[in-house]
Structure 1
Amino acid sequence: MLDKLQIVKQRYDEVSDLIIQPDIITDQKRYVKLNKEYKDLGQVVEKANEYESLLANIEEAKEIIADGSDAEMTEMAKMELEEANARIPQLEEEIKFMLIPKDPEDAKNVIVEIRAGTGGDEASIFAGDLYRMYTKYCASRGWKAEVEDLSEGTSGGFKEIIFSITGEDVYGDMKFESGVHRVQRVPQTETQGRVHTSAATVMVLPEAEEFDIDLKMSDIRIDYFCSSGPGGQSVNTTYSAVRLTHIPTGIVAQCQDQKSQHKNKDKAMKVLRTRIYEQELEKKLAEDAAKRNSLVSSGDRSAKIRTYNYPQGRVTEHRIGLTLYDLSNIINGDIQKIIEELKLTENTEKLKELGEVL
């Protein structure tokens, strides 16, 4: 463990020197990457210092106890030794998890797409519930959620809604939400009081930066059209809505949320860039899944991942067999405990793969 931590400290010192070099500062992509690494390494170094300090305290306490000349000092040393020995195993586990190689995507902002699945109007209402759940979760994390495009359901909710989330390490937590979410409840439209099962699909894509992919404007067809749905007279009568088509791949993105054609074009470009980037990421996820057979991030977005059962007030996370009887809080945005359990499972898998390298 100490040898591994020494390597981390050396790298931390290297990066701290690099990020003040003028040629690094002018290279935006490298500067952002190194800054992120510096911050992550700093957290490990903090734990490493605590670990080394505890080991030093243990040695000092042992010496005082062995000497035994001062009864009061010996008693204090025994208490300190007991506390340090209790803390060491916990600290070692924390450090092991911190030393697991981080996915470079985890630091990215995301584009979330929620689509109503089976269940008609009730599925659209449920898609709206999921959108509300995520916006409340974002507010609790200090993240910003912004709608990119939407198509409203006939009885409320959304047939489809696309929104971006910006903040710190968003993809690292939100990636676990990709998959099919299922709801079991009596729909508002049901007169007999029967419980129905409906579904919505959630896709969480790491937002592509401009330097992540080489997107040529000559490969993009731009169409302008009038917005549909609510938005006021000026939105519906001007050609402010924008549809972008990436000719080589056929990928389409559109936005009609803003009154400004320019703003809609910028938003649509962000979604398009992310969807193109996602194709490459999907290949990587498929390769990783084949290698690791991961329980919680296999990249299979058709997999049923979670059920929200209203009659029983429970939420079941199928990937790890977790059931919580706290539906009202969870649907109101309190999903952190589920995400933490999924992260713990994934990190435990990664630790097994790493073997005893630590």
Structure 2
Amino acid sequence: MEEKLKALALRYEDLEAQLADPAVYTDAEKLKRVNQELKELAPVAQAAQAWQRVTQARAEAEALLHDPDFRELAQEEWEQAKAEQERLQEQIRLLLLPKDPNDGRGVIMEIRGGVGGEEGALFAASLLRMYTMYAQSRGWKMETVSMNATELGGVKECSVLVEGEGVYSRLKFESGVHRVQRVPETESGGRIHTSAATVAVLPEAEEVECEIDPKDLQIDTYRASGAGGQHVNKTESAIRITHLPTGLVVECQDERSQYKNKDKAMRVLRSRLYEMEQARQAAATAAQRKSQVGSGDRSERIRTYNFPQGRVTDHRIGLTLYKIDAIMDGDLDELIDALVTADQAEKLRSGAEDASE
């Protein structure tokens, strides 16, 4: 670990030196990369510096243990330094875990009503509201790409763009089947129904990472439907893009501008193609372990929301929280923090197993 920390410290110093060079400010792309890497390395560099300081303090306290005049005070300082050293060592181990290259990206989130008919669509609308409130609490930006709503206010399917700091690192654990148990608004007999909605979280791909040949695209325009006033139905501003080699179809009718709709649709298409390529690469790597917190497959049931009992259970880590109203109002941090911790623990175990082989 010490060798790795030394290498990271040297890299951090090199990046700081680059940032002090006026020439780097003439290259916007390079400046962005340097700042991003500095930001990523800063927590490790700071923890490593703290660990070096406390290691030195422990050594100094240990030297005084043999002096009768200072033994009692030195013993107390030595124990404090030892505990802090162990805490920092664990923190550094977590910071040195391999990073998901997509963690800093924005996402395309797709929510679809599943089994349960209208109740499944109403639950999908509840999930959309939950994620919207969570995004607001984190200071993220959320934009609708497409929305297929029901007459009762449910969501058959929708796509939204979410942008901000650490979006994918938090939302990636939300992919899968979300099950709900509650008395539907449409149920007159008061019986509890079980229905579901699916969530897919796709890391947003950059243009350079997913080049699309224009000849592979079929682009159709049509008049948008739904709410939006007279303009919506008078102009062909809605866009449908079909990627001919894969058959993927993306629609966007949220904006009045045809150009803006096309731009949003292309962002969704790039992200879907990027996800398909990532899935292909993962499947080709036979030794790749499946994470404890799930593969992110949207067919995997990940969570149950039981309204009569006021509880939410995440099946991947066996966590049950009795605060369903707060969670449905976007208070997701306790759930997501537990999933992040479980993911880190699994990576630490995998690393230990690999080291012993």
Q: TM-score range by the shorter chain?
A: over 0.9
Deviates most, 107-116 or 156-165: 156-165
**Is the CA contact 2:294–2:316 (under 8 Å) kept in the aligned structure 1?**
no
**2:80 is the alignment partner of 1:83:** yes
Deviates most, 145-154 or 175-184: 145-154
Deviates most, 225-234 or 153-162: 153-162
**2:260 is the alignment partner of 1:263:** yes
Structure 2 unaligned regions, length at least 5: none
Question: For each residue in 1:301-356, what CA deviation from the matched residue of structure 2 results, as whole angstroms up to 9, or x when unmatched?
Answer: 20100000001111110111111111111111111111111111111111122228
Structure 2 vs 1, CA of residues 177 and 263 (structure 1 numbering), >3 Å: closer, same or farther? same
Deviates most, 55-64 or 283-292: 283-292
Query: 1:33 offset after TM fit, Å?
Result: 4.7
Question: For each residue in 1:15-71, what CA deviation from the matched residue of structure 2 results, as whole angstroms up to 9, or x when unmatched?
Answer: 44456595897483x6655533321111101000111111111111222332344x5
**Is the CA contact 2:61–2:78 (under 8 Å) kept in the aligned structure 1?**
yes
d(CA) in 1 for partners of 2:213 and 2:113? Answer: 33
**Is the CA contact 1:185–1:196 (under 8 Å) kept in the aligned structure 2?**
yes
**2:312 is the alignment partner of 1:280:** no
Structure 2 vs 1, CA of residues 239 and 300 (structure 1 numbering), >3 Å: closer, same or farther? same
Residue in 1 that maps onto 2:343: 346
TM-score (norm 1): 0.92
Structure 2 vs 1, CA of residues 346 and 301 (structure 1 numbering), >3 Å: closer, same or farther? same
d(CA) in 2 for partners of 1:294 and 1:210? Answer: 29
d(CA) in 2 for partners of 1:287 and 1:145? Answer: 34
Query: 1:116 offset after TM fit, Å?
Result: 0.3
Residue in 2 that maps onto 1:329: 326
Query: 1:221 offset after TM fit, Å?
Result: 1.7
Query: 1:13 offset after TM fit, Å?
Result: 2.5
Residue in 2 that maps onto 1:4: 4
Instruction: List aligned pairs for 1:297-308, cutoff 5 A.
Output: 297-308=294-305
Residue in 2 that maps onto 1:316: 313
**2:91 is the alignment partner of 1:94:** yes
d(CA) in 2 for partners of 1:100 and 1:161? Answer: 34
Give SS of 2:343's match: helix
TM-score (norm 2): 0.92
**Is the CA contact 2:282–2:288 (under 8 Å) kept in the aligned structure 1?**
no
Structure 1 unaligned regions, length at least 5: none
Deviates most, 222-231 or 248-257: 248-257
RMSD over aligned Cα atoms: 2.2
Instruction: List aligned pairs for 1:153-232, cutoff 5 A.
Output: 153-232=150-229
Structure 2 vs 1, CA of residues 214 and 208 (structure 1 numbering), >3 Å: closer, same or farther? same
Amino acid at match of 1:66: H
d(CA) in 2 for partners of 1:134 and 1:117? Answer: 18
**Is the CA contact 1:178–1:203 (under 8 Å) kept in the aligned structure 2?**
yes
Amino acid at match of 1:129: S
